[in-house]
Structure 1
Amino acid sequence: MVPLKRRKLVPSHAGNTGTNLSGEKVPAKFPQVVLFLLERKMGASRRAFLSQLGRKKGFQVEEMLSKSVTHLISENNSGAEVRAWLDSQDQKPAHLLDISWYTESMREGHPVEILDRHKLQDQRINEAEVEVFSVPSYACQRRTTLDNHNTTLTDALSLLAENAELSDEEGRGVAFRRAAAVLKALPKPVTSMSQLRGLPCLGEHSLRVVKDILENGASSEAESTKQSGRYNALKALTGIFGVGAKTADRWIREGIRSLQQLQDSGQTLNRAQQAGLEHYDDINQPVTKAEADAIGEIVERAVVSVLPGAQMSLIGGFRRGKLTGHDVDFLITHPEEGREVGLMPKVVARLESQKTTRNSYLESNDGPARPASNIDRFERCFSIFKLAKEEKRGATQPETLTENGVQILQTKPARHKPWRAVRVDLVVSPISQFAFALLGWTGSKLFERELRRWAGHEKAMSLSSHALYDNKQISESDVGGGDICTSWFGVHPTVREERLTRLLSPYRRTKRSPI
């Protein structure tokens, strides 16, 4: 091996400062750790990027080798090669480390403990010895634990998925969501790209993001997205209740990129959007389980008072076991088929509504009207609930506002007591479809998508929030074997839900309520 050109020694104080995001000099957080990145086999541009990243994280990174260097970082070099080069430099840092120690330290935000695997080896590690993960192809077949061992990877992919969804690129958003779901299901942290060989749903783009994080401690694409003016504008504007990505995109093209600019623009907002803008901070604050339970008691009293015997279930993220969420969802039904028809306007009226408007389920003699969205055809009410924080449960007096089919439920707080606005969604389902509605509205969105994809591809069935159909048109006599078809509408609802749950039981997620 031909030694590299001997580097000029520099004073030890050359690299004891870093730069923050504004480019200002800041003291190093870890003065006892002085790093030097070996350019050999790493390349000048990559070394410059990694050095800058380290300084932003508060590490002291020297541009040139000096006597103050304590940790030499190398990539794709053996211990023998680095020691031979150091002999020519007449320098011997205390630690000769592989790039993996550096990337793990970047990820954690502080120098991690030096393990044997971090030290430069005379022989490169055989990739065949690295543990390779394996997971099922469909998200609904995986036991997804609540403990995510790859948060840094999944957070970056989820951010890119959100950006794609806000940019009306649904396909790309789904791809990132599926990749993040695979990484969440892994039992251990990913430390090498070779561990991901053969895993499903990891496309080239997602793998590039993962590789960038493993090598550099962060995804340059994700960091760039965080700083994107368009992404931040879309996120802020779509955070307004009643504003979707297309409306936000139109406003951005008109030069509106913030809430203040929207207020100053004179844009005509419907009543739902006005309420969303007024209660923006509250709506974008997580809802707690205690708040969900308090709202549930108020709504349930209103439901039972107008239709005795009606049943209400908490759905959405809280039913999956989450402790916080962005809204509260309830599914309402009645044991007698048909009794639920027209229930929503009565519930809204019971909550002292000022007016009611058309809903989407079974409101004409010709059958269901065109639904407000493609989720399902159930009667639903998307609302903002004004909940008193310190008021005793049952002492609230609700008030309802309505705009374009969206009910804005408000609960007047007691005088001199604080309140907060909470998003509340109400859904009414006939009992014959309750099991499917309960499954469909429990989520998550990706889990439901994957479950329906699995039903279609693997079982030749069509699953929706209304029913599960056998695409092969099996006869009723075949149902006893565990298959489900349209004849299930004649089965008692409790038995139907038990069968549906039993069919899906091998794929239930751990630490979740049964689906």
Structure 2
Amino acid sequence: MAVGKPVNIEEQHKLQDALDILAENFEFNENEGAFVTFSRAIAVLKSLPYTISRMGNLDGLPCFGDETRAIIEEILEDGVCSKVESLLCDEKYKARKLFTSVFGVGLKTADKWYRQGFRTLEEIKSAKDLKFTKMQKAGFLYYEDINNAVRRPEADAVGQIIENILHECTPDVTLTLTGGFRRGKESGHDVDFLISCPDEEKYEGLLHKAVSKLNSRGLLLYCDFMEATLEKRKLPSKMYDAMDHFEKCFLILKLSKALVKDGGLSASSVSVVRPPNEGAETEVKTQTKDWKAIRVDLVIVPPQQFAFALLGWTGSRHFERDLRRYTHFEKNMMLDNHGLYDKNKKVFLEAKTEEEIFAHLDLEYIEPWERNA
């Protein structure tokens, strides 16, 4: 295999960003096959210890087909990709990307707003005839904070707040940080936690009690509960992106600068955001802001399913997709956030740890920080 020069971050990002934009558009257009193809190529690029500086560097690498190769070749030769440049000028793509950046806005809503002639968030917020969900109102109200990355010290501070409150409710409860932060990343879009307790009877009302305490202390900016639907689950889902059946809540919490150990939340002068649909005559005040709105997901997991939930919620998205594909096609089993089902034996396989799940699949254990690509 031809090896390129040492990694040049700027050059490597140019290739990744181009494929990322195209993959995102495939996802917008619900072209699952093309999205997965491009996503796998991106994952390979991210894992390389060298820069792709000529086409020969792709020899022997997996996940690069004719289309991804053609795009990389064009960038290496011309410095840009014509498809990407065209897409970046496309009004529909720009509107979809902008609108879906709002918490609570999905593709269908984004497309609806686009068809109605909206092109900016300000146009949407000031529209008199639009109705917004509670989630979307929060998304607009805390837009800037939510779209700024959450850093690891902030995630740790949020975790300490929630853990303290949970222990007030149930002393033997455990809180586990998942997602990209468990994979060793230093920043992310939100913070995900799994909650578990040896005594399942103590789960009753636990999330509601914890959220009530957060609210009473002035820390709760938004909350949406999803009750458990475990009785609906029979076999593991064949759909990778299917929502699991655990009890959970989606929060926006108010994190004070003083609670972040590295002092990373700097106070700044900011304009108070006008809620959607309020007229231009509404007074917009400027005040010093020494807190940040942080997106948090809390998930209640029964002890016997904790290992499977931990594996699923840790990610990454592409790692989980390929692990479940391997489980299905190579082992004739089914894996999701709830369990592992052996289709040959027609039984669920038990596991108390992630290591035991990998052992069932005859795979060497892969550490969380090795699952990013």
Normalising by structure 2, we get a TM-score of: 0.79
Equivalent residue in structure 2 for 1:333, among 150, 174, 196:
196
In the alignment, the residues of structure 1 paired with residue 185 and residue 260 of structure 2 have an alpha-carbon distance, to the nearest angstrom, of: 24
In the alignment, the residues of structure 2 paired with residue 262 and residue 186 of structure 1 have an alpha-carbon distance, to the nearest angstrom, of: 42
Pair 1:499-2:356 in alignment = yes
Equivalent residue in structure 1 for 2:96, among 234, 253, 258:
234
**Equivalent residue number for residue 26 of structure 1:** none
Instruction: Tell me if the contact between 1:389 and 1:417 (Cα under 8 Å) persists in the aligned partners.
Output: no
Alpha carbons of structure 1 residues 295 and 358: separation in structure 2 relative to 1, 3 Å: closer
Identity %: 42
SS of match in other structure, 1:382? strand
Alpha carbons of structure 1 residues 416 and 261: separation in structure 2 relative to 1, 3 Å: closer
**Equivalent residue number for residue 136 of structure 2:** 273
Alpha carbons of structure 1 residues 132 and 338: separation in structure 2 relative to 1, 3 Å: farther
Normalising by structure 1, we get a TM-score of: 0.59
**Equivalent residue number for residue 253 of structure 1:** 115
Alpha carbons of structure 1 residues 513 and 189: separation in structure 2 relative to 1, 3 Å: closer
Alpha carbons of structure 1 residues 374 and 487: separation in structure 2 relative to 1, 3 Å: closer
The higher-RCO structure (CA 8 Å, 6+ apart) is 2
In the alignment, the residues of structure 1 paired with residue 60 and residue 206 of structure 2 have an alpha-carbon distance, to the nearest angstrom, of: 51
Pair 1:171-2:171 in alignment = no
Task: Compute the displacement of 1:220 (Å).
Answer: 1.8
Instruction: Tell me if the contact between 2:175 and 2:193 (Cα under 8 Å) persists in the aligned partners.
Output: yes
In the alignment, the residues of structure 2 paired with residue 434 and residue 298 of structure 1 have an alpha-carbon distance, to the nearest angstrom, of: 22
Pair 1:387-2:255 in alignment = yes
Between the two proteins, the alignment pairs up a number of residues equal to 333
* Partner AA of 1:427 in structure 2: V
In the alignment, the residues of structure 1 paired with residue 223 and residue 83 of structure 2 have an alpha-carbon distance, to the nearest angstrom, of: 47
Task: Compute the displacement of 1:168 (Å).
Answer: 3.0
RMSD of aligned alpha carbons: 3.2
Deviations for 1:271-318, whole angstroms, at most 9, x for unmatched residues?
111111011111100111111111111111121221221111011111
**Equivalent residue number for residue 189 of structure 1:** 51
**Equivalent residue number for residue 13 of structure 2:** 151
Point out the structure with max Rg over C-alpha.
1
* Partner AA of 2:366 in structure 1: R
**Equivalent residue number for residue 228 of structure 2:** 361
In the alignment, the residues of structure 2 paired with residue 504 and residue 348 of structure 1 have an alpha-carbon distance, to the nearest angstrom, of: 41
Deviations for 1:90-115, whole angstroms, at most 9, x for unmatched residues?
xxxxxxxxxxxxxxxxxxxxxxxxxx
In the alignment, the residues of structure 2 paired with residue 153 and residue 376 of structure 1 have an alpha-carbon distance, to the nearest angstrom, of: 34
Gaps of 5+ in 1: 1-129, 134-144, 394-414, 475-484
Task: Compute the displacement of 1:466 (Å).
Answer: 0.6
SS of match in other structure, 2:52? coil
In the alignment, the residues of structure 2 paired with residue 443 and residue 357 of structure 1 have an alpha-carbon distance, to the nearest angstrom, of: 23
Instruction: Tell me if the contact between 1:149 and 1:186 (Cα under 8 Å) persists in the aligned partners.
Output: no
In the alignment, the residues of structure 2 paired with residue 382 and residue 276 of structure 1 have an alpha-carbon distance, to the nearest angstrom, of: 12
Task: Compute the displacement of 1:368 (Å).
Answer: 4.6
Instruction: Tell me if the contact between 1:166 and 1:245 (Cα under 8 Å) persists in the aligned partners.
Output: yes
Higher helix share: 2
SS of match in other structure, 1:312? strand
**Equivalent residue number for residue 285 of structure 1:** 148
Q: State how 1:374-413 maps to structure 2 within 5 Å.
A: 374-390=242-258
**Equivalent residue number for residue 508 of structure 1:** 366
In the alignment, the residues of structure 2 paired with residue 200 and residue 220 of structure 1 have an alpha-carbon distance, to the nearest angstrom, of: 24
In the alignment, the residues of structure 1 paired with residue 175 and residue 290 of structure 2 have an alpha-carbon distance, to the nearest angstrom, of: 28
Q: State how 1:9-20 maps to structure 2 within 5 Å.
A: none
**Equivalent residue number for residue 2 of structure 2:** 131
Instruction: Tell me if the contact between 2:308 and 2:339 (Cα under 8 Å) persists in the aligned partners.
Output: yes
**Equivalent residue number for residue 244 of structure 1:** 106
Gaps of 5+ in 2: 262-286
**Equivalent residue number for residue 455 of structure 1:** 327
Instruction: Tell me if the contact between 2:195 and 2:301 (Cα under 8 Å) persists in the aligned partners.
Output: yes
Task: Compute the displacement of 1:258 (Å).
Answer: 1.0
In the alignment, the residues of structure 1 paired with residue 52 and residue 367 of structure 2 have an alpha-carbon distance, to the nearest angstrom, of: 21
Alpha carbons of structure 1 residues 334 and 504: separation in structure 2 relative to 1, 3 Å: farther
Deviations for 1:199-241, whole angstroms, at most 9, x for unmatched residues?
4322322121111112112222122222322222111111111
Instruction: Tell me if the contact between 2:37 and 2:63 (Cα under 8 Å) persists in the aligned partners.
Output: yes
In the alignment, the residues of structure 2 paired with residue 357 and residue 196 of structure 1 have an alpha-carbon distance, to the nearest angstrom, of: 46
Equivalent residue in structure 2 for 1:436, among 278, 294, 308:
308
In the alignment, the residues of structure 2 paired with residue 392 and residue 131 of structure 1 have an alpha-carbon distance, to the nearest angstrom, of: 46
**Equivalent residue number for residue 181 of structure 2:** 318
SS of match in other structure, 1:214? helix
